[in-house]
Structure 1
């Protein structure tokens, strides 16, 4: 199973950039693509575009409190479990595709303390799925930093860069130290970082060459695929797709996550 997570920057409204993005997606072989920032999109537009890309199914979460819509396209039917705005900076879309629960998130860009609250909401949902003993992945632009990358951030003197800007300070720091609590809460609950546990090197997901967000002031890993123990049995591996083409598609690089597929139509393969 091949999944892609992509924050496409303000709905990718620029015609030239969208043409490049669309051509790139069409050339890929993903089974599922999860999107952040489908700003300005409609259900019909996403479904039509999904079909053009080779996907039969789509779902768009058009939030009322945020213009940063969350969506997903898939080659398999999409079962929508829940879409929620209450307590979320943007929202959370919970779907089940081909036997796997996906929590598609775009966490708060305001502060780590807000993301700590959102992480606790994710844990409550995770416990519901764990009771069902089913595979799950948390996918998205989580807007937060991981303690697994601390050595890299220390060597890059990241705190020195962040502390100089009021907004970056509030987003990532607490008393002039990186606040890793949002990710740590998720890891402590049993989620596993698919980009780390296979001993892959550090890869930043921002900035790109068309960076337009001053909150991407340094090389940061903000996009994640965190899996539960059941999905981890399928040996998931996540990596950032960084090349001369994705340099110019968004202000985030896409995140790929692949795992062995043990289910067909909700039942185990033979």
Structure 2
């Protein structure tokens, strides 16, 4: 009886072998998946970061130069565009740039209010222009981008018109174009913010209006405001505690005139390479070192 019961309960040999094979294969698959998950790290594509910053006379006449330089080094950007680069000549700028890891640095002049570009890759200077401009501009090529670093004067509409025409021509030749800097003008993307915050603009027939001609020149030429595209809640780049007490009496006074006047514009094809944007508005650090805040855009290479 016992032998008969055992015989009835025993799995036939071919089925048993097949069952064992399935179990072994399943176990191997689980082990393989686990091993792959353990040893295969997430592949991160390399990116390029551009920082644009009006330095307020080189970080309040170099008073905060060391802190600002250390901050830039921590960010590890591929490119840095600067305005109001006073108190240094070209060798001095190169020494500064080396501190944030950039062996390449150029400025468009060494007097007045220079603009500059530093990079982790070689820089080809295409044009340094002062004639006909209040401050002038720098056109340079690095990391595969044609970068136009500008510092416009309010109301001088011929300056952005010249740059926009140049930028459009470069795009027609297949260049990846970025127009970056201090535009000294608001943008219509921020119209509601400007109405709700501050006492800016001009009231005409009871309606507060703003002069958007500088930034309209680029929007109408097809260029993309990358901050608005990727960080639409970032509505001011100017107006920090660094203005107190010389230019503003207190933070309430600062808040009334905060607005966005620093931009990174890109042609539509280049704009598609932009992955993220932000304005760093930390008043315990960057807001003490300059009256403008850094604008940062991350690109795919």
Contact 2:225 2:264 in 1 (8 A): yes
Query: Corresponding residue for 1:181?
Result: 213
Please say which structure displays the higher CA radius of gyration.
2
1:48 correspondence with 2:48: no
Give the structure-2-normalised TM-score: 0.75
Q: Does 1:249 align with 2:289?
A: yes
RMSD over aligned Cα atoms: 2.3
Q: How does 1:87-98 map to 2 (within 5 A)?
A: 87-98=132-143
SS of the residue corresponding to residue 229 of structure 2 reads coil
Report the count of equivalent residues: 244
Matched, 1:141 2:182: yes
Which residue is equivalent to 2:191?
150
Provide Cα deviations, 1:174-205, integer angstroms capped at 9, x if missing partner: x9621111111110001000011235213311
Structure 1 95/213 Cα, relative in aligned 2: closer, same or farther at 3 Å?
Answer: farther
Specify which of 159, 184, 193 is matched with residue 118 of structure 1: 159
Measured in 1, the distance between the counterparts of 2:273 and 2:257 equals: 33
Gaps of 5+ in 2: 1-47
Over 3 Å counting, the alpha-carbon distance change for 1:27 and 1:189 in structure 2 is same
| Aligned equivalents of 1:231, 1:83: Cα separation in 2 | 23
In the TM superposition, residue 52 of structure 1 has moved relative to its aligned partner by 2.3
Shift of 1:98: 1.2
Secondary structure of 1:158's match? coil
**Does structure 2 retain, via aligned residues, the 8 Å contact 1:136–1:231?**
yes
- Give the C-alpha shift of residue 233 in structure 1: 2.1
Q: Which runs of 5+ in 1 are unaligned?
A: 165-174, 262-270
Contact 1:96 1:102 in 2 (8 A): yes
Q: Taking structure 1 as the reference length, what is the TM-score of the superposition? A: 0.83
Structural mapping, 1:97-246, within 5 Å: 97-108=142-153, 111-112=154-155, 114=156, 116-156=157-197, 158-159=199-200, 162-163=201-202, 177-198=209-230, 200-211=232-243, 212-213=246-247, 218-243=257-282, 244-246=284-286
SS at match of 2:77: coil
